[in-house]
Amino acid sequence: MEFDALDLGLLELRHGRIEAYLHSHPYDSSRPFNDTHYRPEWASHRDMEMWIALGVPFGIVATDGHGCSDVLWYDDRNRAPLEGREFVHGLHDCYSIIRDYYLSELQIDLPNFPRGWGWWNEGQNLYLEGFEQAGFQEIPRQEARVGDCIIYKIGTAYPNHASVIVGPDAILHHLIDRLSRVEKKSRWSRHEALAVRYVGVDK
């Protein structure tokens, strides 16, 4: 079952303001996923569109028909600490860590972008297109300083990872299947594609 804007509007008229949205992701536990990194409770591109549009906590449970996972809440109002968070695509990933750094350290609220798992293998340029929309411009990599972001190509033809510079030879980033962390910038330099700096957006 899928709700559209009219359905949600009618629900609010009948029952009051929607406080949260909860739905399930059914899957067949006898069939392994093509990508072992993927988790069935992670939000799809459409899920993220709905979450961002509704502006309320968005919960997902994965079920194989016999049991279900714990509820995974997508919620911008309760952001995790910058270091040590577990990877959850669309919620705690490499773009999320940049958004949360900018909000907590620079008081800049960067926009969120809908993204489904595997966008980097589907010809989508989330970073090349999204960073410009968010108010960033490309700069020479040798001029990058604290607060600037580095975009990487790691094992793909498309940019698929990013970090924010937090100190001399130090970046904050979040890789798949790892906790978010600060590491040496030089360790990842061979994967660098470009550097970008926040310059703001016209209102």
In the chain, where are the structural domains located? Answer: 5-74, 94-198
pLDDT in tens, 138-168: 999 999 999 999 999 998 888 899 999 999 9
pLDDT of res. 203: 46
Question: Mean pLDDT over all residues of the chain?
Answer: 89
93, exposed or middle or buried, with CB in 10 Å at 0-12, 13-18, 19+?
A: buried
Chain centre to alpha carbon of residue 148: 18
pLDDT at 10: 66
pTM: 0.88
**In contact, 146 and 65? CB cutoff 8 Å:** no
Instruction: With a cut of 70, say whether residue 1 has pLDDT above it.
Output: no
Architecture of the 94-198 domain: Alpha-Beta Complex (3.90)
Kindly report, residue by residue over 111-127, the tens digit of the pLDDT: 999 999 888 877 677 88
**pLDDT(12) > 80:** no
Q: Which residue has the higher pLDDT, 9 or 62?
A: 62
Token pair for residue 73? 């809440």
Is residue 60 scored above 90 in pLDDT? Answer: yes
Give me the pLDDT at residue 73, please.
Answer: 96
pLDDT at position 52 is 92
- In whole angstroms, give the CA distance from residue 81 to residue 99: 12
